[in-house]
Amino acid sequence: MHAITHPLPARQLKGDLAVWILILSELLVFGLFFLGYAVAARRHPALFEAGQATLDTGAATLNTLALLAASAVVVMAIERLERQRTREAGRLLALAALLGSLFLVNKALELHHHLALGITLSTSLFHMFYLGLVSFHFMHVLAGVIVLSWVARRCLRDTPPELNTVWSAGAYWHMVDLVWVVLFPLVYLL
C-alpha cells in the first residue's frame, strides 16, 4: 500500500488571503499618510522642525526596540507551534503581547503629555499629522496585542487555533512593526 502524498506548494503565502488583502490596504493608507507628512514638512520646514523638537526621541527609540523584539518573539513562537510545542509557543506569544503592551503604555503617556499641554489635532499642521499618525498606529498596535493575547491564551490552554490563523496574526503584527519602522524616523528623526 502506498501512502498518498501531496507535494508541498513551492511558494506559499503564510496566512489567510483576506488578512493579506487587509494588510495591503493598511499599508496603502499609511503610505499615503507618510507622503502627505513629507510634503507638508517640505512646505513648512520651520513649523515641523519646531514641532519635532518637542518630541521624546528616547522614549520612541525604546518603543521601536520593544516592537522589533515583539516581532522576533512572534517568529520564534510560530516556529515552536509548527513543531507542536504549543505551551512554549503560548509563553512566547504572551511575552510578545507584553512587549506590545509596553509600547502602548509608553505611547499613551506620550499622548497624554501632549493633550495635558492643550495640544490637539487643530493646534498646528504638524500636530495634526503627528497626533493623527501616532494615534492611528496606536489603534493598530492595540488590535495586534489583543489578537496575540487571544492566540497566547489558546496555546497556553493547549487548544491552539489553526496554524493559518496564527500565521495571519503574525503577519498582521509584522505589518504594524513595518509601518512603525518608517513612521519613527519620519516623525521623530528627519
Cell numbers for 75? 517568529
Which residue from 29, 35, 117, 121 is in contact with another protein, where contact means CB under 8 A? 35
Q: Which of 54/61 has CB closer to another protein?
A: 61
The most distant pair of C-alpha atoms in the chain lies apart, rounded to whole Å, by: 77
Residue 168 binding another protein, by CB under 8 A: no
Tell the residue number behind the cell numbers 498646528, with chain if given.
124
Cα gap 125→107, rounded to integer Å: 20
183, 55 contact by CB (below 8 A): no
Residue 64 binding another protein, by CB under 8 A: yes
Cα gap 90→7, rounded to integer Å: 30
**Least distance (Å) between residue 102 CB and another protein:** 15
Positions that interact with another protein (CB under 8 A): 11-14, 20, 24, 27-28, 31, 34-35, 38-39, 41-42, 45, 48, 57, 61, 64-65, 68-69, 71-76, 79, 170-171, 174-175, 177-178, 181-182, 184-186, 189-190
